[in-house]
C-alpha cells in the first residue's frame, strides 16, 4: 500500500555552497500525489514534481528543474524518502537548495520523516518494473588512462541495489555494498548514516565548489586512519546516491541495480532510460 506521513516535520542546515541557511518542511499528501517540491520563497509558490524529465546531474549532486525553477542537491533527501517507502509527500522549501544534514548523509532527513510518523494509505503502491535488462555504459579518464563504468538494471522481485567501488589508483580499497529494500530491511541503521566523502587529492577542487561546507565532508586518505562507520561506508553512500537519483522516476522501481564506478550522471541517465522503456506499464 502507498504511504505518507501523519504530520509535518522540518530539517534545516546550510546550502551545499555554504552561503546561507535553508530549510525543508515535509507535509502529508493524498494517495497518488507522488513527491512534490514547492518553492515557498518564490511568487505563486511554484511546484516541481519529482520526475526524471526534470532531473539533471553533474559529478557532485543532482538537481530538478522545471521551466526556470530549480531545486538543488536532491539525492540525499530523496534517498531518505525511498528508504522509508514513502510515496506521497509535499516538500516546502524556503530557497532553491535542499539543506546539507548529518555530514552529507541522509540520516537527519530519515529521522525527521520518522518523527512525522509514516502512515499507510488506502491505495496500492505503484511500481515501475524492470522486465528486461537495461544498461548504461560510460567511461572516464584518470592519469591518462581510460576506465569504464556501468550501471545495469535487471529484473528482480524486490528493489535491490549493489555497488562496486573500484578506484583506479586504489587509494580506497575495492569494496562492495548490497542492499535489498524490503519490509524486513533496516534503512535507518544500514544505509542512512553513510556519509558522503571526498579523496584528499580532491580537496582544493571541491573546496572551490562548496566553500566552508568542505568541513562537513569525510576526507579520505591512504596516509591516515580513516574513521569509517563501516569498512565499506563509501560504497554504502554510493547506494544512498543511487536510491536518491532513481527516486526521480517518481515511483518505486522493482529491479536489481548493479553499479560499477558509477555516479550521479549515470544514475540519472538510467532513470530517464527506464521511464522510456517501462514508464507506460507502471503498476
Note whether 233 and 185 are same-domain residues: yes
Find the mean pLDDT for residues 148-163: 96
Note whether 237 and 136 are same-domain residues: yes
pLDDT band at 184 (very low <50, low <70, confident <90, very high): confident
Note whether 95 and 137 are same-domain residues: no
The CATH number given to whatever domain includes residue 63 is: 3.30.230.20
pLDDT computed for residue 139 by the predictor: 83
Distance CA 266, CA 241 (A): 11
pLDDT computed for residue 146 by the predictor: 86
User: Which cell is 96 given?
Assistant: 532553491
The CATH number given to whatever domain includes residue 182 is: 3.30.1700.10
Instruction: Express each pLDDT in 92-109 by its tens digit.
Output: 999 999 999 988 999 999
Instruction: Express each pLDDT in 111-121 by its tens digit.
Output: 999 999 999 99
Name beta bridge partners: 256: 154, 160
Distance CA 197, CA 54 (A): 26
pLDDT computed for residue 262 by the predictor: 94
Distance CA 170, CA 255 (A): 30
pTM of the model: 0.94
Note whether 171 and 263 are same-domain residues: yes
Distance CA 192, CA 213 (A): 20
Note whether 62 and 194 are same-domain residues: no
Find the mean pLDDT for residues 212-235: 83
For the chain, the domain total comes to: 2
Share the mean pLDDT of the chain: 92
pLDDT computed for residue 280 by the predictor: 58
Closest CA to 11 of 120, 73, 101, 141: 101
Note whether 73 and 23 are same-domain residues: yes
Q: Which domain holds residue 217?
A: 128-281
Amino acid at each position: 500500500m502507498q504511504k505518507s506521513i501523519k504530520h509535518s516535520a522540518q530539517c534545516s542546515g546550510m546550502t551545499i555552497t555554504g552561503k546561507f541557511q535553508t530549510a525543508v518542511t515535509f507535509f502529508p499528501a493524498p494517495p497518488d500525489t507522488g513527491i512534490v517540491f514547492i518553492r515557498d520563497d518564490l511568487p505563486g509558490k511554484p511546484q516541481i514534481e519529482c520526475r526524471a524529465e526534470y532531473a539533471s546531474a553533474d559529478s557532485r549532486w543532482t538537481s530538478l528543474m522545471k521551466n526556470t525553477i530549480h531545486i538543488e542537491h536532491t539525492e540525499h533527501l530523496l534517498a531518505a524518502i525511498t528508504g522509508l517507502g514513502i510515496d506521497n509527500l509535499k516538500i516546502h522549501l524556503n530557497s532553491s537548495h535542499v539543506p546539507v544534514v548529518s555530514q552529507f548523509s541522509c540520516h537527519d532527513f530519515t529521522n525527521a520523516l520518522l518523527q512525522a510518523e509514516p502512515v499507510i494509505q488506502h491505495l496500492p503502491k505503484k511500481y515501475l518494473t524492470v522486465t528486461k535488462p537495461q544498461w548504461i555504459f560510460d567511461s572516464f579518464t584518470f592519469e591518462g588512462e581510460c576506465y569504464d563504468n556501468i550501471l545495469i538494471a535487471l529484473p528482480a522481485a524486490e528493489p535491490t541495489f549493489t555497488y562496486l567501488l573500484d578506484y583506479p589508483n586504489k587509494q580506497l580499497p575495492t569494496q562492495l555494498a548490497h542492499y535489498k529494500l524490503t519490509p524486513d530491511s533496516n534503512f535507518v541503521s544500514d544505509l542512512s548514516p553513510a556519509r558522503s566523502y571526498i579523496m584528499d587529492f580532491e580537496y582544493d577542487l571541491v573546496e572551490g565548489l562548496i566553500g566552508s561546507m568542505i568541513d562537513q565532508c569525510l576526507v579520505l586518505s591512504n596516509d591516515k586512519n580513516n574513521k569509517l562507520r563501516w569498512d565499506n561506508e563509501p560504497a554504502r553512500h554510493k547506494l544512498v546516491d543511487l536510491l536518491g537519483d532513481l527516486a526521480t522516476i517518481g515511483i518505486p522501481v522493482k529491479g536489481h541495480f548493479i553499479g560499477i564506478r558509477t555516479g550521479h550522471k549515470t544514475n540519472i541517465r538510467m532513470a530517464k532510460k527506464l521511464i522510456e522503456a517501462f514508464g507506460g506499464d507502471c503498476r
